[in-house]
């Protein structure tokens, strides 16, 4: 992986002429996890997709720049709530999808290391349909890591998982993606409090930065300060509504 | 269990048929009974087999060509907006024409032999194959396309690795439909002009008031169509994602 840059998106967006968000500036610290927390419909996914260079329903007026002034969209990896695994391809093929789509030869040794790291070595030749939700998200994480991009965009990737699997995935992702510039979009205050090295609350009024707990991420689920932060974040969300 | 219920349904149908014949006392050139038809079938089994073979060849060649043409057309349509604008309305228009109306023309152009029937079968299955595969190609789950985009995939690679595999179940349902339509196409072709095939045999028997032979040929066609459908079903099970 090349050096992870910091990244700034600033501007406003409208949908069919109606404002979605007023002018705002969001900075993702270099090599840090930034959690963008907000209720549904405030435009979190839109922000993330704008950074990824994907189609949105919104007209964006502003700019997205990396601190090193290099292009952004060719350096992002993307992971969504839907694992987006191809049902006809095996776990191994799904993990190395990116190389195949670019017409490159996948680094098979690396692929197998990542699969092992995600504890999927027994499922190498299975189809996604044979896996549990947690296993499928681990495959998606392995595929994301396989891309080896300095910027990683996560759109509520754990929200469809049960509480225990979600906590496991959070630990795994925090460890595996450490050192990259990560944007995690979430509606879950607990998730933001556990993982954010920087936490920003998005409401219809705009962005509110919030002090993250002092312990290094991923924080324990029962860490007192983390629980306090979680409460404070939830209060912020409720006040905004 | 499935075989058992099919058997039961067959026995029931035969019983109803026999009951209608017995109760109405219709003459056998109007409605022959199952026993007579079975006897006629057995006496003419070699003739029927020969004509079945002819029809089967027409249908199989028609299926192969029609599927290939449909797949190629769908890929072109999916790949090019210009093709969609120019060709799609034409496809819809040809679909509005009754294909039967074209049968005499095909006989005129291609003669009495095999190829006018193959063309008929191709015509009748071309649209279902094209439209089902094309729909599948255009309805790729958008999340896959987003992912591919962040991976800097070329349109060609997306087509090959994502859109086509994602559309195979749709193509499979088109092919299953085609398996039902193709024999109809071939038989219509035979009715309009031929000296061979089950359609020809049915027409011939009918013209000579050999209604029992007509029934024997018709039932053979039915059994052939069902077998063909089952074979195509099996063959496309993997494509349809049923037998992973
Ligand atoms: N493709 C689209 N076309 C039109 N409106 C959209 C589109 N995508 C999202 N929206 C609207 O934009 C708003 C913000 O959506 P989104 O960014 O997905 O919010 P969030 O991720 O915070 O739930 C919502 O009101 C949604 O209905
Ligand atoms: Mg969203």
Is some CB atom of chain B closer than 8 A to the CB atom of A129? yes
- What pLDDT, on a 0 to 100 scale, did the predictor assign at position B243? 56
Structural domain boundaries, residue B43: 36-235
**Pairwise CA distance, residues B88 & B43, whole Å:** 50
Residue B133 within a domain: yes
Q: Of ligand 1's atoms, which has the minimum distance to the CA of residue A48? A: 17
Inter-residue contact A230 to A189 (CB < 8 Å)? yes
Rounded to two decimals, what is the model's pTM?
0.88
| Contact check, Cβ <8 Å, B241/A54 | no
How many angstroms is it from A81 CA to the middle of ligand 1?
A: 15
DSSP 3-state of B133: helix
Q: Which stretch, A231-240, B88-97, B219-228, has highest mean pLDDT?
A: B219-228
Asked whether residue A98 carries a pLDDT value surpassing 70, the answer given is yes
pLDDT at A115: 94
Residues B39, B215: Cα–Cα separation, whole Å:
11
CB A213 within 8 A of CB A225: yes
Q: Which of A82, A89, A102 sits opposite B152 (nearest CB)?
A: A102
Q: Provide the 3-class DSSP secondary structure of residue B228.
A: helix
Q: Ligand 1: which residue has its CA nearest to atom 16?
A: A43
Question: pLDDT-based confidence at A240, cuts 50/70/90?
Answer: confident
User: For residue range A158-208, what is the model confidence (pLDDT) as tens digits?
Assistant: 998 899 989 999 999 999 999 999 999 999 999 999 999 999 999 988 899
136-175 in chain B: CB under 8 A from chain A: 143-144, 146-154, 157-158, 161-162, 165-166, 168
Q: Which residue is closest to B160 within chain A, CA to CA?
A: A101
pLDDT given for residue B46 in this prediction: 96
Q: Is residue B17 part of a domain?
A: no
Residue B173 lies in a domain: yes
Asked whether the beta carbons of B105 and B191 are under 8 A apart, the reply is: no
In chain A, where do the E strands start and end? 7-15, 18-28, 33-38, 59-66, 76-80, 151-155, 181-186, 198-203, 206-210
What spacing in Å lies between the alpha carbon of A14 and ligand 1's midpoint?
10
pLDDT, tens digit, 9 for 90 and up, residues A107-140: 999 999 999 989 999 999 999 999 999 999 999 9
Question: What share of chain A in percent tops pLDDT 70?
Answer: 99
- CB A11 within 8 Å of CB A63: yes
Which whole number is the average pLDDT over A63-81? 93
User: Given this model, what pLDDT does residue B240 score?
Assistant: 87
- Contacts (Cβ under 8 Å, ≥6 apart) of A109: none
Q: Which of A20, A154, A206 to mutate to test the pocket of ligand 1 (most atoms within 8 A of CB)?
A: A20
For chain A, give the mean pLDDT. Answer: 93
Q: What is the CATH number of the domain that holds B188?
A: 1.10.3720.10
What whole-number percentage of chain B has pLDDT above 70? 99
Q: Which pLDDT value is given to residue B101?
A: 84
In-domain check, residue B24: no
| Cα Dmax for chain B | 75
Residue B90 has pLDDT above 90, yes or no: no
Mean pLDDT of chain B: 92
Residues of B in contact with A97 (CB under 8 A): 147, 151, 161
Residue B12 in domain: no
Residue A3 has pLDDT above 90, yes or no: no
Beta strands A18-28 and A181-186 are unpaired
Measure the CA–CA gap between B20 and B40, rounded to whole angstroms. Answer: 19
Asked if residue A59 lies in contact with residue A14, where contact means CB atoms within 8 angstroms, the answer is: yes
Tell me whether residue B19 is in a domain.
no
Within 10 angstroms of residue A99's Cβ, the number of other Cβ atoms is 18
Q: In chain B, at which residue ranges do the beta strands (DSSP E only) sit?
A: none
3-state secondary structure A25-45: EEEECCCCEEEEEECCCCCHH
Residues whose CB is less than 8 angstroms from the CB of residue A54 and which lie 6 or more positions away in sequence, other chains included: A78, B146, B149, B150
What is the model's pLDDT at position B96?
Answer: 81
A5: closest CA among A26, A32, A35? Answer: A32
β-pairing verdict for A198-203 and A181-186: unpaired
User: Which chain A residues have a beta carbon less than 8 Å from that of B149?
Assistant: 52-54
Do the domain assignments include residue B25? Answer: no
Comparing CB atoms, the residue among A54, A86, A89 nearest residue B149 is A54
Q: Read off the pLDDT of residues B131-162 as tens digits, 9 standing for 90 and up.
A: 999 999 999 999 999 999 999 999 999 999 99
> Residue with the nearest Cα to atom 1 of ligand 1?
A57
> Does residue B244 carry a pLDDT above 60?
no
The complex scores an ipTM of 0.93
The count of structural domains within chain B is 1
Is residue B11 a part of any domain in this protein?
Answer: no
Residue among A84, A129, A147 minimizing CB distance to B143 = A84
pLDDT grade for B170, boundaries at 50, 70 and 90: very high
pLDDT, mean of residues A70-75: 93
Confidence label for B175 from pLDDT (cuts 50, 70 and 90): very high
End-to-end Cα separation, chain A, in angstroms? 40
pLDDT 10s digits, B7-59: 999 999 999 999 999 999 888 888 999 999 999 999 999 999 999 999 999 99
pLDDT mean over B174-186: 94
């Amino acid at each position: 992986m090349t050096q992870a840059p910091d990244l700034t998106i600033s501007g406003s967006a409208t949908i069919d002429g109606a404002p979605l968000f007023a002018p705002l500036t969001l900075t993702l610290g270099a090599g840090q996890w930034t959690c963008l927390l907000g209720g549904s419909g405030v435009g979190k996914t839109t922000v993330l997709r704008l950074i990824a260079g994907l189609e949105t329903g919104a007209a964006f007026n502003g700019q997205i720049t990396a601190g090193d002034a290099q292009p952004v969209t060719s350096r992002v990896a993307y992971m969504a709530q839907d694992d987006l695994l191809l049902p006809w391809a095996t776990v191994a093929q799904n993990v190395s999808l990116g190389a195949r789509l670019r017409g490159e030869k996948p680094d098979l040794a690396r692929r197998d290391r990542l699969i092992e790291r995600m504890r999927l070595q027994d499922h190498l030749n299975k189809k996604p349909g044979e896996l549990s939700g947690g296993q499928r998200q681990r495959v998606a994480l392995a595929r994301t890591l396989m891309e080896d991009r300095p910027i990683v965009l996560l759109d509520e990737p754990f929200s469809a998982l049960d509480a225990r699997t979600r906590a496991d995935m959070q630990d795994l992702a925090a460890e595996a993606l450490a050192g990259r510039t990560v944007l995690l979009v979430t509606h879950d205050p607990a998730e933001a409090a556990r993982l954010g090295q920087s936490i920003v609350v998005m409401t219809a009024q705009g962005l509110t930065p919030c002090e993250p707990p002092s312990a290094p991420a991923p924080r324990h689920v029962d860490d007192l300060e983390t629980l306090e932060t979680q409460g404070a974040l939830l209060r912020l969300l409720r006040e905004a509504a | 269990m499935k075989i058992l219920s099919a058997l039961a349904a067959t026995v029931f149908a035969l019983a109803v048929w026999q009951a209608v014949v017995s109760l109405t006392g219709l003459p056998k050139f109007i409605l022959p009974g199952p026993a007579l038809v079975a006897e006629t079938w057995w006496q003419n089994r070699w003739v029927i087999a020969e004509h079945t073979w002819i029809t089967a060849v027409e249908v199989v060649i028609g299926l192969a060509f029609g599927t290939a043409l449909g797949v190629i057309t769908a890929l072109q349509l999916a790949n090019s907006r210009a093709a969609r604008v120019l060709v799609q309305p034409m496809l819809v228009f040809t679909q509005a024409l009754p294909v039967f109306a074209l049968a005499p023309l095909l006989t005129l152009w291609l003669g009495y032999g095999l190829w006018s029937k193959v063309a008929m079968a191709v015509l009748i299955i071309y649209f279902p194959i094209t439209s089902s595969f094309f729909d599948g190609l255009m309805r790729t789950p958008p999340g896959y396309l987003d992912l591919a985009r962040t991976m800097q995939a070329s349109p060609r690679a997306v087509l090959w690795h994502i859109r086509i595999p994602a559309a195979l179940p749709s193509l499979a349902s088109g092919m299953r439909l085609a398996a039902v339509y193709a024999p109809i196409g071939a038989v219509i072709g035979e009715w309009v002009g031929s000296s061979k095939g089950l359609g020809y045999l049915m027409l011939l028997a009918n013209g000579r008031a050999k209604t029992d032979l007509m029934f024997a040929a018709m039932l053979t066609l039915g059994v052939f169509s069902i077998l063909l459908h089952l074979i195509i079903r099996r063959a496309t099970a993997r494509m349809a994602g049923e037998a992973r």
